[in-house]
């Protein structure tokens, strides 16, 4: 099992692209802008375990005051920084990473425990509220930070620390009689533990991750009670003392533990938690698929305390259990994608619990009753989709991965990499203008974006030895004469990897280069470099929105070798067999679907709106381009019959050093060499804007008509629509959603406009 976080460095973005440019901005500016925030808020030094005044604020929020998450903020920054240092060395960042890593190591207790809040603020309350207080979540991010640190610095300096911590956790939590039968309220550690296991072979890590997945939602986990109920009683908390984010006091779906994972019919609760949890489950399946580990079904239910569960047959095969988990994964994925996902790839309609609402409840913004779409939640979709593509190569996962990446994720950072959104609505309102912030009290999203972009190369493709098409354990990945690359995302990049060769032995090098102007244009030229002895299979994703419009050049039929060559299209991937790639190491894929198209939300959302899309991008209207528009574009109508014109544009921004210059704040400015500071960074984005016609709904005519008609009623006679007159015709300019809130204005923005 390989993870993007592990193999991203094998991919190099060797030419300009939206993805390369954004990644570079994180490396040049974003990583330091966030470091500046870590320093300004006290997070940077928090692992020194000294008291900070912010801990003392009297209105700390129960159960999770912001410092409860600090460990993860620091860890995620450290993780992302290590990814970015790989090909963009910066002495200031390097020094900061070393400083923080030293503090983390120094903060570990003799017994292995490691957590700032429960060392400094509430030292007596370790593991007393596993549901809400994020100890395991923080531990997960520390593990991921340690893995990134280990890979970049070639040291086990932090790895040893987290291994000790994992051993400690395993003494506290587990199926044993003296242990807490617990699992994290905010999943994340599952996927981190499985990465740790893959990297180090740690059995503790594997066992703990598997325990968390299998124990989750056990209705009688501890002393006959749901673990979280048991835990609450231990604390002596009233059942009516519940966090603000919990819709009601007596359910567990906020944390995805209302039922065991296998029995959950629908995806529910906090969206980020759901995505991280399912990514962990998928990782577990990926590991098993690769033969690293098989389920032992005779252990099934061993930690269930009720007689009934013990009676469950143990005849289920390992395969059947894996199938059941895979079924659960795809069931929950489909439920999410088909009924609970926005046009932009956003998930989480409900502010209250930052999570999923009812089927098709997808209001465009606060004015319509919701829309949260946390940046981290769509990052979670990207993680999950990538894992699912290992289990089931189907473009429906990759289409959603790309949709999220280019829309709800990419919009989470400003073009200059120094400002962020947490919530990503599809329509602004007076309460929620379309704006960014430098930082947040709970600041999960900014470093999450940074670490995703840091290892982004790992998400472009899946590759390795063999033909990549074996479903059983026999595909051990050791085939010396076969290689595969499954291309999920198009951009300009080159991946280089080795096949064959045992442990410690050099293998044969395979390199695949792609060049394109994606997402603006669908022409992608490839060049494969592989020894002639390696039979290379390449699979190219054909996006669903291309509607089958694609061309491969040279065409397979023009192949001049004597063996016949046919490409096959299966589940959205076009397979180029070794016979093709050998004959045509350079080839071009043209993907259609780049003409602007009107899209609409599911009819069951009840929204008769139209949005514009082009390739993988969803567009929005902003007041910066359309100063004539009424507030928040609420009264703007468009028609699918209107022509749409394209306009090539560029946006250039100068990023003042004050936005990210954090020198001198902690005395380590000395690490910076003269001339290393860029006084000003310029960032640029070329993009395609769209122009179409629009109408302004004349509400005054409606008001006059409704007079006396009754509460909220418009009287409709003779089929005149809403009784609203379509007013003046205007030219409407739209830009990619990801680019919103970069050009000033009043923060008025809308994706879906009323359908005329």
Distance CA 626, CA 736 (A): 14
**Which neighbouring-strand residues pair with 1?**
none
Options 339, 488, 515, 659; binder of a second copy; rule CB under 8 A: 339
CB 592 within 8 A of CB 547: yes
Q: How many CB atoms lie within 10 A of CB 392?
A: 15
Task: Kindly state the tokens that stand for 647.
Answer: 């306009």
Q: Which of residues 610-639 bind a second copy (CB under 8 A)?
A: 610, 613, 634, 639
Distance CA 361, CA 183 (A): 30
Residue span binding a second copy (CB under 8 A) among the ranges 80-88, 562-570, 678-686, 702-710: 702-710
Distance CA 598, CA 662 (A): 45
> What's the closest the beta carbon of residue 414 comes to a second copy, in angstroms?
25
Q: Which of residues 524-553 bind a second copy (CB under 8 A)?
A: 543-545, 547
The helix or strand, by DSSP H or E, that contains position 610, with its residue range, turns out to be strand 609-614
Distance CA 113, CA 142 (A): 12
Q: Which of residues 244-273 bind a second copy (CB under 8 A)?
A: 244, 247-249
Site membership for a second copy, residue 600 (CB under 8 A): yes
CB 691 within 8 A of CB 647: yes
Residue span binding a second copy (CB under 8 A) among the ranges 28-36, 40-48, 513-521, 704-712: 704-712
> What's the closest the beta carbon of residue 458 comes to a second copy, in angstroms?
23
Distance CA 469, CA 673 (A): 50
Q: Which of residues 449-508 bind a second copy (CB under 8 A)?
A: none
> What's the closest the beta carbon of residue 584 comes to a second copy, in angstroms?
27
Q: How many CB atoms lie within 10 A of CB 288?
A: 20
Distance CA 748, CA 756 (A): 21
Residue span binding a second copy (CB under 8 A) among the ranges 465-473, 475-483, 661-669, 710-718: 710-718
CB 382 within 8 A of CB 452: yes
Of 747, 655, 687, 745, residue with least CA distance to 417: 655
Q: Which of residues 211-240 bind a second copy (CB under 8 A)?
A: 238-240
Longest dimension (CA), the chain: 85
**48: cis peptide before it, omega within 30°?**
no
CA 424 to chain centre: 14
Options 555, 586, 716, 729; binder of a second copy; rule CB under 8 A: 716
Nearer to a second copy, 194 or 405 (CB): 405
Nearer to a second copy, 401 or 735 (CB): 401
Site membership for a second copy, residue 399 (CB under 8 A): yes
Distance CA 229, CA 95 (A): 45
Nearer to a second copy, 603 or 667 (CB): 603
- Which residue is associated with the tokens 């200031």? 92
SS3 463: strand
Helix 445-454 to helix 31-41 angle (10° resolution) is: 150
Distance CA 751, CA 621 (A): 6
- Which residue is associated with the tokens 């004050």? 658
Site membership for a second copy, residue 123 (CB under 8 A): no
Options 312, 670, 704, 715; binder of a second copy; rule CB under 8 A: 715
Distance CA 423, CA 435 (A): 10
Site membership for a second copy, residue 57 (CB under 8 A): no
Residues whose CB is less than 8 angstroms from the CB of residue 122 and which lie 6 or more positions away in sequence, other chains included: none
> What's the closest the beta carbon of residue 617 comes to a second copy, in angstroms?
11
Options 306, 338, 656, 680; binder of a second copy; rule CB under 8 A: 338
Nearer to a second copy, 344 or 537 (CB): 344
Q: Which of residues 58-117 bind a second copy (CB under 8 A)?
A: 62-63
Site membership for a second copy, residue 242 (CB under 8 A): yes
Options 502, 708, 728, 744; binder of a second copy; rule CB under 8 A: 708
Nearer to a second copy, 243 or 531 (CB): 243
Site membership for a second copy, residue 337 (CB under 8 A): yes
Site membership for a second copy, residue 405 (CB under 8 A): no
Options 474, 673, 717, 728; binder of a second copy; rule CB under 8 A: 717
> What's the closest the beta carbon of residue 260 comes to a second copy, in angstroms?
23
> What's the closest the beta carbon of residue 614 comes to a second copy, in angstroms?
12
Q: Which of residues 168-207 bind a second copy (CB under 8 A)?
A: none
Q: Which of residues 341-360 bind a second copy (CB under 8 A)?
A: 341-343, 345, 349, 352, 357-360
CB 401 within 8 A of CB 489: yes
Q: Which of residues 680-699 bind a second copy (CB under 8 A)?
A: 697, 699
Of 237, 256, 240, residue with least CA distance to 248: 240
Options 723, 736, 745, 747; binder of a second copy; rule CB under 8 A: 723
**Residue 665 phi, psi dihedral angles, 5° rounding:** -70, -35
Site membership for a second copy, residue 370 (CB under 8 A): yes
> What's the closest the beta carbon of residue 603 comes to a second copy, in angstroms?
5
For residue 526, give Cα distances in angstroms to 15, 549, 590: 14, 18, 11
Options 103, 225, 583, 599; binder of a second copy; rule CB under 8 A: 599
Q: Which of residues 548-587 bind a second copy (CB under 8 A)?
A: 572
Task: Kindly state the tokens that stand for 689.
Answer: 């804007």
> What's the closest the beta carbon of residue 640 comes to a second copy, in angstroms?
4
């Amino acid at each position: 099992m390989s993870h993007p976080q592990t193999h991203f460095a094998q991919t190099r973005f060797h030419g300009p692209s939206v993805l390369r440019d954004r990644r570079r901005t994180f490396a040049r500016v974003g990583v330091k802008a966030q470091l500046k925030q870590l320093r300004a808020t006290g997070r940077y030094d928090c692992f020194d375990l000294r008291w900070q005044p912010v801990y003392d604020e009297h209105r700390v929020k129960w159960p999770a005051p912001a410092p409860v998450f600090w460990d993860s903020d620091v860890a995620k920054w450290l993780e992302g920084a290590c990814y970015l240092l790989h090909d963009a060395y910066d002495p200031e960042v390097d020094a900061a990473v070393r400083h923080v890593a030293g503090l983390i190591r120094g903060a570990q207790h003799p017994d292995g425990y490691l957590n700032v809040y429960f060392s400094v603020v509430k030292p007596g309350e370790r593991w007393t509220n596993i549901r809400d207080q994020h100890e395991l979540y923080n531990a997960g991010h520390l593990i991921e930070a340690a893995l990134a640190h280990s890979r970049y610095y070639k040291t086990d300096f932090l790895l040893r620390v987290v291994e000790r911590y994992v051993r400690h956790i395993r003494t506290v939590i587990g199926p044993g009689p003296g242990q807490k039968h617990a699992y994290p309220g905010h999943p994340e550690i599952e996927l981190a533990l499985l990465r740790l296991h893959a990297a180090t072979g740690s059995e503790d890590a594997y066992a703990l991750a598997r325990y968390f997945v299998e124990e989750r939602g056990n209705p009688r986990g501890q002393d006959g009670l749901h673990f979280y109920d048991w835990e609450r009683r231990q604390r002596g908390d009233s059942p009516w003392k519940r966090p603000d984010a919990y819709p009601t006091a007596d359910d567990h779906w906020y944390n995805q533990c209302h039922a065991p994972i296998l029995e959950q019919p629908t995806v529910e609760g906090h969206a980020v938690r759901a995505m991280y949890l399912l990514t962990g489950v998928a990782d577990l399946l990926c590991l098993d698929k690769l033969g690293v580990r098989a389920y032992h079904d005779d252990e099934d239910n061993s930690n269930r305390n009720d007689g009934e569960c013990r009676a469950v047959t143990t005849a289920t095969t390992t395969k059947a259990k894996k199938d059941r988990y895979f079924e659960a994964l795809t069931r929950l994925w489909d439920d999410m994608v088909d009924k609970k996902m926005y046009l932009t790839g956003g998930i989480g309609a409900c502010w209250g619990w930052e999570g999923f609402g009812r089927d098709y409840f997808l209001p465009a913004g606060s004015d319509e009753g919701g829309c949260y779409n946390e940046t981290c939640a769509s990052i979670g979709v990207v993680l999950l989709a990538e894992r699912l593509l290992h289990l089931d190569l189907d473009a429906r996962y990759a289409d959603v991965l790309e949709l999220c990446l280019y829309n709800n994720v990419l919009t989470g950072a400003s073009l200059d990499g120094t400002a962020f959104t947490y919530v990503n609505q599809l329509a602004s309102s007076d309460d929620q203008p379309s704006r960014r912030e430098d930082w947040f009290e709970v600041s999960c999203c900014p470093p999450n974006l940074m670490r995703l972009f840091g290892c982004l190369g790992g998400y472009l493709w899946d590759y390795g030895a063999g033909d990549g098409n074996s479903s059983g354990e026999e595909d051990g990945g050791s085939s010396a004469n076969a290689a595969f690359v499954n291309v999920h995302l198009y951009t300009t990049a080159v991946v280089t990897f080795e096949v064959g060769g045992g442990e410690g032995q050099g293998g044969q090098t395979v390199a695949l280069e792609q060049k394109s102007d994606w997402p603006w244009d669908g022409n992608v030229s490839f060049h494969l470099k592989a020894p002639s002895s390696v039979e290379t299979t390449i699979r190219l994703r054909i996006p669903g929105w291309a509607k089958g419009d694609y061309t491969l050049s040279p065409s397979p039929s023009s192949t001049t070798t004597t063996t016949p060559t046919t490409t096959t299209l299966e589940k959205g991937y076009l397979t180029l067999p070794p016979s093709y790639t050998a004959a045509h190491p350079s080839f071009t894929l043209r993907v259609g679907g780049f003409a602007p198209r009107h899209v609409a939300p599911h009819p069951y959302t009840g929204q008769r709106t139209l949005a514009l899309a082009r390739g993988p991008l969803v567009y929005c209207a902003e007041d910066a381009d359309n100063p004539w528009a009424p507030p928040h574009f609420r009264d703007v109508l468009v028609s699918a019959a209107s022509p749409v014109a394209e306009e090539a544009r560029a946006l250039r921004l100068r990023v003042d050093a004050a936005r990210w210059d954090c020198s001198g704040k902690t005395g380590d400015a000395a690490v910076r060499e003269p001339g290393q500071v860029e006084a000003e960074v310029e960032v640029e984005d070329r993009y395609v804007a769209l122009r179409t016609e629009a109408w302004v709904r004349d509400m005054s005519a409606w008001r006059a008509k409704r007079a006396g008609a009754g509460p909220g009623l418009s009287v409709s006679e003779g089929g005149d629509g809403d009784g609203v007159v379509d007013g003046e015709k205007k030219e409407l300019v739209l830009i990619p959603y990801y680019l919103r809130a970069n050009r000033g204005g009043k923060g008025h923005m809308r994706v879906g406009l009323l359908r005329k």
